[in-house]
Amino acid sequence: MRRKYIKQSVPERIIRAVIYIFMFLMCVICLAPILHVAACSFAEPKWLLQQSGLVLWPKYQTIKGYGIVFSSPSLMNSYLNTFFYVGTATTLGVLVTVMGAYVLSKREAVWSSPIMIMISFTMLFNGGMIPTYMVVRNLGLLDTRWAMIIPGCINAFNIIIMRTAMNTIPKELEESAKLDGAGPMRILFSIYLPLVKATIAVIILYYALGHWNSWFSAAIYLKSRKLYPLQLMLREILMQNDTKTITSTSDVAGDSDLYKELVQYCCIMVSTVPVLFFYPFVMKYFKSGVMVGSLKG
């Protein structure tokens, strides 16, 4: 069947053209910095120091910057630490969020409404940095890996999204499962989770990106450099302009100032690429997951 063509008026065509141009400019604005950093990370250091504008393709290419980065024990250790923090905290956070939202989605649960009010209250008011630090210290978590996992393993906003998504599931499914002898855990993992997998994907994205970009907690709670995440090392490299810890173990230790800018660009790409690969796999669930979680139960 041929698609019927709807003729557009001149004002409609102008508006559509303006929207296309605007979206194209927004894409250029978003992609230009990424392309610039990627191009500079493959540039020769001497040629790179002479550039002052936007670089989209280096005239002289080299991968020596990445060789310096990947040969740095401290940076690779922080890279592995970040993967551990993100994987552990995201897994624990999603598990606790799902189980908590499942219980709070039951209207017959004891004190479910007061508990939701207290959870929502924490989104507006919290103890602040000093009381949080005292709690972490008194729990004996300072300068341990758990200081990066437990304090931020659960988020009130994510619980609300997950609870709202579970409220959209017909209660008749649960009642039918109970008649067949299914228990709460069986109902949760066999009925609820498959129906809210889009929302779970969104929650995973929120937790993973939050922990991947986190550096402030590490700066407060961690003293040992062997526990530093990648973002804290990246902060030292970019904000404090300190690349000696990376170049000191390579064959360019004597020319550390020459390779300083190149190493900075390579570190940015190393910390960005995993997110760029991870995001497309979750993006297909993002719209439906957010919309389901935004419906009132």
Q: Is residue 18 part of a domain?
A: no
**Residue 192 in contact with residue 132, Cβ under 8 Å?**
no
What residues are paired with 7 via a beta bridge? Answer: none
* pLDDT at residue number 82: 92
| pLDDT reported for residue 295 | 47
Task: Note the pLDDT of residue 243.
Answer: 63
Instruction: Give just the sign of the alpha carbon dihedral 11, 12, 16, 19.
Output: positive
Q: Is residue 114 part of a domain?
A: yes
In-domain check, residue 56 = no
Centroid of chain to Cα 245: 26
- What is the pLDDT at residue 296? 46
Nearest CA-CA partner of 243 in 262, 267, 260 = 260
The predicted structure's pLDDT at residue 293: 47
Cα(43)–Cα(60) distance, rounded to whole angstroms? 6
CA–CA separation, 102 and 96 (whole Å):
10
Q: What is the DSSP letter of 249?
A: T
Residue range(s) defining the domain that contains residue 162: 73-297
Angle, nearest 10°, between helix axes 73-104 and 230-238?
A: 130
Q: Would you mind telling me the total number of residues written for the chain in this entry?
A: 297
DSSP 121-177: HHHH----HHHHHHHHHHTT-TTSGGGGTSTTS--HHHHHHHHHHHHTS-HHHHHHH
In a domain, 9, yes or no: no
30 part of a folded domain: no
For the chain, first and last CA: distance in Å? 41
On whether residue 199 sits in a domain, the answer given is yes
Domain count, the chain: 1
Residue 245 lies in a domain: yes
Beta bridge partner(s), residue 43? 61
| DSSP-based three-state secondary structure for 56 | coil
The count of other CB atoms within 10 Å of the CB of residue 32 is: 12
pLDDT by residue for the chain (297 residues), tens only, comes to 455 556 777 788 888 899 999 999 999 898 888 899 989 888 888 888 888 788 888 888 888 888 888 888 888 888 899 999 999 999 999 999 999 888 888 877 778 788 888 888 888 887 788 888 999 999 999 999 999 999 888 888 899 888 888 888 888 888 888 888 888 888 888 888 888 888 888 898 889 888 998 888 888 999 888 899 988 888 877 776 666 666 665 555 556 667 788 888 888 888 888 888 777 776 666 655 555 544 444
- Run of H or E including 212: helix 197-212
Q: Which residue, 135, 111, 158, is CA-closest to 217?
A: 135
List the CATH number of the domain containing 103: 1.10.3720.10
Residue 212 lies in a domain: yes
Sign (positive or negative) of CA dihedral 116, 154, 101, 200 = positive
CA torsion 49→50→54→57, rounded to 10°?
Answer: -80
